[in-house]
Structure 1
């Protein structure tokens, strides 16, 4: 191993570029042993932490890098990206703009700025940086997909579809699946039977740090409380006697409503960052990172109660999910869930990229899965763009 810090840094960067994150970290930390305030080592450790999903580590190292070199554009850009991933969007936007003032042709910083503006609820302002990012990185699909989403949120369906089609020409298989899903939501393609798992995971990973503030403060989210009320109205008392599964547990908001019913409470989610937030709450006896259609069949007759608050909106055909839920319930067990309400077609993919389901069709699928309807209610699940999201709440028994 070289002893010179500059040589160590170069060795770490080479390992980093080759995808050896552990090897890169080792060399960067050797640099810091010799030069504790080395800004490049801290910045690269910040990049590495972001790649691992370690938001706290990314914030710590990017702050230290900037403390040494506050005018360095690359450090400002990396700090802005870390702040965005932490959900600190106004700070992220200011930092990314500072980076771009020093290095205006940074396509990655432009894309990050556009996505942060979009996440903050200003898709119109996001268009200029995202369009610039696509010009600076022609043929790169990620900025094009980000631009497509911003145009969709700004109300430009035709422009969104145009950007998505261009992204599709160079996207790999995983990204192409997400692009096609967007095109389907725009009415440009046939809707698949479910949202791509990678799309759902990425969506909620990005959403995790600001999830509760967004839902509770801005969107008036009510589904967990509505489901808990449906349970008590049906005579299922909150006596902490049941083995409960919180399906799509997210940060644990639904767990707060379910805990009074649970002797043992488990949570399941696709998003590791959502699960990291849920672990901060002393609610769950176990948390699992998995796809519900893959995980539920491994737990036959394991739960007395399964609850799914705003989870089935990301599945179109609910027959496999309801069958899997029924099999995971004990005889006499219950499932409580919500769907966004539609009518006519059994299910339809909305422009908001969630499925709406005809409640009559859902009831029929439940019967076919061996579930008996105990109670059904209509209700407003939350607000979206100033309008109520109408839903249907179901309580079924095995």
Structure 2
């Protein structure tokens, strides 16, 4: 069968324009015409699935997403996550790395305007506020590893308070924008679950601002972080709270984590909780998104078994804390 990508692309542009007008029936007709011009174009199948999903035609959306995945098993556009939210695929333990990389490569030019100006994102500020109270007992130099550093928002907030900060992110385009700020000593493109060997192994502080939401099972990420920390080092991170154990995927394709699951992962990976507070991470469609801000300490395991009162805060202080 012949294919005409140029014709298909023109038709898909028309379909997307019809979506903006809310005419989903006409948009689906034109998207199907785009596929007829180039049946092997994965993006056209994904777009048709999105149109059907917007129109409330779940079964048609499921079929279109499945066709997309047959053409792109790497899943650069996140078809499997869409199927999961539609109840047609099993829950995975993370979003596909290739999808996350492509998503943020595309998002990089407008990332900060979107988060700061439109969504009132203040995750880095909340993390710094949460960890500040625990820094007095730490012996310098305090070097920081920023997990999922993005364009360097954590570097802007944390940079002036510590001796050095390094960053790692899946997206090379996000890394490039962070590098241009001149805040980081080293920046590495890589996966936080499979830490590249050129990162240090004795960071005093690890920061994960709005990155663990893209992972379901957090144990691999916590274990990987600990391998890069000095004994007694601190980790501070944000989470979105979930009521489903151990985690579920929210409508924004971000994982939400159950409190008991988080406690189990931390214990398993050798971390003791120093503080666990709640705060508004950002706005979404005009509504505040509440999250957990946790500060944990890397232990050798013996501290936990011994009770190590110095490592554990008063339980009363862990209940109902709020970061403002």
TM-score computed with the length of structure 1 as normaliser: 0.66
Q: Aligned in 2, Cα 1:189/1:151: closer, same or farther, shift over 3 Å?
A: same
Give the alignment partner of residue 179 of structure 1, picking from 79, 83, 86: 79
Q: Aligned in 2, Cα 1:157/1:210: closer, same or farther, shift over 3 Å?
A: farther
Does the 8 Å contact 1:341/1:391 carry over to 2? yes
Give the alignment partner of residue 367 of structure 1, picking from 267, 271, 275: 267
Match of residue 192 from structure 2: 292
Q: Aligned in 2, Cα 1:231/1:176: closer, same or farther, shift over 3 Å?
A: closer
Query: Is residue 205 of structure 2 the alignment partner of residue 319 of structure 1?
Result: no
Match of residue 19 from structure 1: none
Query: Is residue 35 of structure 2 the alignment partner of residue 143 of structure 1?
Result: no
Match of residue 86 from structure 1: none
Query: Is residue 188 of structure 2 the alignment partner of residue 280 of structure 1?
Result: no
Q: Deviations over 1:288-347 (max 9, x none)?
A: 001111116775732111101111111111111111112211011111111111023111
Does the 8 Å contact 1:373/1:395 carry over to 2? yes
Query: Is residue 294 of structure 2 the alignment partner of residue 391 of structure 1?
Result: no
Kindly state the Cα deviation for residue 207 of structure 1 after the two structures are TM-superposed: 0.4
Q: How does 1:158-197 map to 2 (within 5 A)?
A: 158-168=59-69, 170-175=70-75, 178-197=78-97
Match of residue 75 from structure 1: none
Q: Deviations over 1:91-138 (max 9, x none)?
A: xxxxxxxxxxxxxx73224546767998xxx59478826455334323
Q: How does 1:324-335 map to 2 (within 5 A)?
A: 324-335=224-235
Query: Is residue 252 of structure 2 the alignment partner of residue 352 of structure 1?
Result: yes
Bigger proportion of residues as helix: 1
Which ranges of structure 2 fall in alignment gaps of 5 or more residues?
1-5, 299-324
Bigger shift: 323-332 or 289-298?
A: 289-298
Match of residue 255 from structure 1: 155
Which structure would you say has the larger Rg?
Answer: 1
Q: How does 1:103-142 map to 2 (within 5 A)?
A: 106-111=7-12, 122=20, 124=22, 128=27, 130-142=31-43
3-state SS, counterpart of residue 234 of structure 2: strand
Does the 8 Å contact 1:296/1:324 carry over to 2? no
Does the 8 Å contact 1:244/1:303 carry over to 2? yes
Match of residue 234 from structure 1: 134
User: Quick one: distance in 1 between partners of 2:218 and 2:107?
Assistant: 25
Does the 8 Å contact 2:76/2:102 carry over to 1? no
User: Quick one: distance in 2 between partners of 1:162 and 1:117?
Assistant: 21
Which ranges of structure 1 fall in alignment gaps of 5 or more residues?
1-104
Bigger shift: 335-344 or 300-309?
A: 300-309
Q: Aligned in 2, Cα 1:112/1:294: closer, same or farther, shift over 3 Å?
A: farther
User: Quick one: distance in 1 between partners of 2:18 and 2:151?
Assistant: 23
TM-score computed with the length of structure 2 as normaliser: 0.79
**CA RMSD across the alignment:** 3.1
User: Relative CO higher for 1 or 2, CA cutoff 8 Å, sep ≥ 6?
Assistant: 2
Kindly state the Cα deviation for residue 363 of structure 1 after the two structures are TM-superposed: 2.2
- Aligned length, in residue pairs: 292
Does the 8 Å contact 1:266/1:285 carry over to 2? yes
User: Quick one: distance in 2 between partners of 1:392 and 1:162?
Assistant: 37
Q: Aligned in 2, Cα 1:369/1:187: closer, same or farther, shift over 3 Å?
A: same
User: Quick one: distance in 2 between partners of 1:390 and 1:360?
Assistant: 18
User: Quick one: distance in 2 between partners of 1:326 and 1:160?
Assistant: 41
